[in-house]
Amino acid sequence: MVFYARKIALATLCVALTLSICSSTETNWASAQSMGLEQAKEREELNDMKGDMSDVKSNITDSLDALDRLSKKISKAQSNEVHLITKEAKIEIAPGKFANFLTYNGKVPGPTLRVTASEPLRVVLHNNLKVATSLTFHGLVLPQGVSGLPHKEGGLVGPGQVYAYQFIPKQSGTYWYHPQVNHGQQKVAGMYGALIVEPRSDRKSYDRDYIMMFGQTSSLDMVAPGARPGSGQTYFLVNGMTAPLAKPLEVREGERIRLRMINASSSAIPLFLTGHKMEIVSMNGSDLLEPHVTRDTITLNPSDRMDVEFQAKNPGVWSLASELTEQSTNQGAFPGGIACVIRYMDAGAEKEAP
């Protein structure tokens, strides 16, 4: 009996142990499953967080890029601000001969303004003259408030006053600035300058670019050291001076040269280029797609502006000069007036102009 009782107790203990082990295994399995689910959830949350961080990083990058573009636009707009200061000045126009001018920034012509099409331009005019002045941008179609007839509320700048002209030039090309028609004598006296609107494309049809502004002054305005004013004879100028002070136009063989010519004088100027042909690219805002014509002689009437190009393929020293003696000399003395030298930089010394 005792033996059987021990066997029953041992069997009961085995069953209890087995049930305990099974229960523990089930508990551990359930715990492992629960832990696996939690880890999977954590991984999913971590991936979501990574995705959110990626979105935040992308948004920050986009915002920084937008701020950088805005900063560049602001910087560009600020760099396109120029100041023109009207003032009287005495300038040498021929060796030992000076003339009194009304000027922008103390020189004739005034500073060349360059801007890219569709970019804003701000021109601040400071009037240091004893009389009122104004400003127009010749050739550009602008709002009345910018380039219309000046009045006290806008555009008419009194002595000591400052006025800002702001606009966005849309069409590329060669233009110029000067006082309005009611201040026309100021233009004749030297207040003019070139305004170049570059195309947005970097492609150009030329290798070298020259600006030539033609003007005039009277010997009544001439001031020679120790001498009295003359008899009122006219002196014709290219970029504010006469030959031989006018700088030569230097080119290299094989280059295509663009000449931007503006007639700020009150006379027609016939110009002849020796040794080359000029292709008329644009005149007074004409459509650049119009058929081009080729000439060796062109005429600029008062206020005309003309872009021409020529191929530098005839080495040597040449001239671009007015065909009228009174315009290409200083009262009959040569060189003088509108008589420019075109010189190949690789031409031999024996070909240099006298």
The torsion angles phi and psi of 68, rounded to 5 degrees, stand at -65, -45
33: tokens are: 């499953």
- Identify whether the C-beta of residue 243 lies closer than 8 Å to the C-beta of residue 292: no
**Per-residue pLDDT, 182:** 86
CATH among 2.60.40.420, 1.20.1560.10, 2.60.40.10, 2.40.110.10 for 81-203: 2.60.40.420
Contacts of 134 (CB under 8 A, 6+ apart): 150, 155, 156, 157, 179, 180, 182, 183
Q: Which two tokens stand for residue 51?
A: 């995705």
Tokens of 20: 């305990």
> How is domain 204-354 classified at the architecture level of CATH?
Sandwich (2.60)
The pLDDT value given to residue 100: 94
Q: What is the pLDDT of residue 53?
A: 72
DSSP string, 289-310: TSPPEEESEEEE-TT-EEEEEE
What integer pLDDT is reported at residue 351 of this predicted model? 46
Please give the pLDDT value at position 48.
Answer: 74
Within 8 A by CB and 6+ apart from 225, the residues are 96
User: For the segment 327-340, what is each residue's pLDDT rounded down to a tens digit?
Assistant: 999 989 999 999 99
What is the residue extent of each domain of the chain? 1-79, 81-203, 204-354
The pLDDT score that the predictor gives to residue 352 is 44
pLDDT, residue 45, reads: 75
Which positions of the chain have pLDDT values less than 50? 2, 21-22, 71-72, 74-75, 77, 227-231, 349-354
Q: What is the pLDDT of residues 108-152, one digit of tens each?
A: 999 999 999 999 999 999 999 999 999 999 999 999 889 888 887
pTM, two decimals, is: 0.75
